[in-house]
Amino acid sequence: MNVDQLIQTGGGEKLFGYKIWYVKDKFIEAERHVVHKSDDVMRDPTFNADGESKILFVPDADQSVGYEGRPLKIRHGISLTGKRFAEQANATDQFIHRMSDEESWANMPTYEDWLSGNRMPSIIPGMLVRGDNAA
């Protein structure tokens, strides 16, 4: 939604792909993501929880799939602990509830709140769902 806002105010386009997270010698994770592209400049307007000012983003070669058509996360464990973590995390992905755009705007901190240290909680009461995504 942040990229949509940038496009509305200044043009450009969405670039679909994956944000890469790596824990040395443990595991690697590719998280479904979208960035803003204008000319040859890519910009990520997402507030990263740990305050990263740069991310590793890998664009997908197939841009026709869109955001929702991609896996939420792709994980690969390197160490035994990393493999166990990846297996457990993959098994729990089915329980993640994706908020509607309206729910997201109502729950996400503003940029000013984020700058002051306010972060989005990992779990919001009432948002957990069964594996069939029924409420």
pLDDT per residue as tens digits for the range 26-74: 999 999 999 999 999 999 988 776 777 788 999 998 898 888 888 889 9
What's the alpha-carbon Rg for the chain, to the nearest Å? 16
124 falls within a domain:
no
125 falls within a domain:
no
- pLDDT at residue 46 in the model: 82
pLDDT per residue as tens digits for the range 73-98: 999 999 999 999 999 988 887 777 67
- What is the extent of the structural domain holding 54? 2-115
Instruction: State the amino acid at position 126 in one-letter form.
Output: G
CB 45 within 8 A of CB 54: no
Give percent of the chain above pLDDT 70. 84
27 falls within a domain:
yes
26 falls within a domain:
yes
- pLDDT at residue 2 in the model: 86
20 falls within a domain:
yes
Q: What is the DSSP letter of 7?
A: H
Sign of CA dihedral 40, 59, 49, 131: positive
Per the structure, the count of domains in the chain is 1
**Paired tokens of 110:** 């503003």
Residue predicted with more confidence, 117 or 61: 61
122 falls within a domain:
no
Q: Which residues of 33-72 are buried (b: 16+ CB within 10 A; e: fewer)?
A: bbbbbeeeeeebeebeeeeeeeeebeebeeeeeeeeebee
Q: Could you give the dihedral angle defined by the CA atoms of residues 46, 47, 52 and 58, in that order, rounded to the nearest 10 degrees?
A: -20
Q: Could you give the CA distance from residue 74 to residue 26 in angstroms, rounded to a whole number?
A: 14
- pLDDT at residue 131 in the model: 42
Residue by residue, what is the 3-state secondary structure of 31-64?
A: EEEEEEEECCEEECCCCCCCCCCCCEEEECCCCC
131 falls within a domain:
no
pLDDT at 110 over 80: no
- pLDDT at residue 82 in the model: 93
Residue predicted with more confidence, 3 or 106: 3
121 falls within a domain:
no
Q: What is the mean pLDDT of the chain?
A: 82
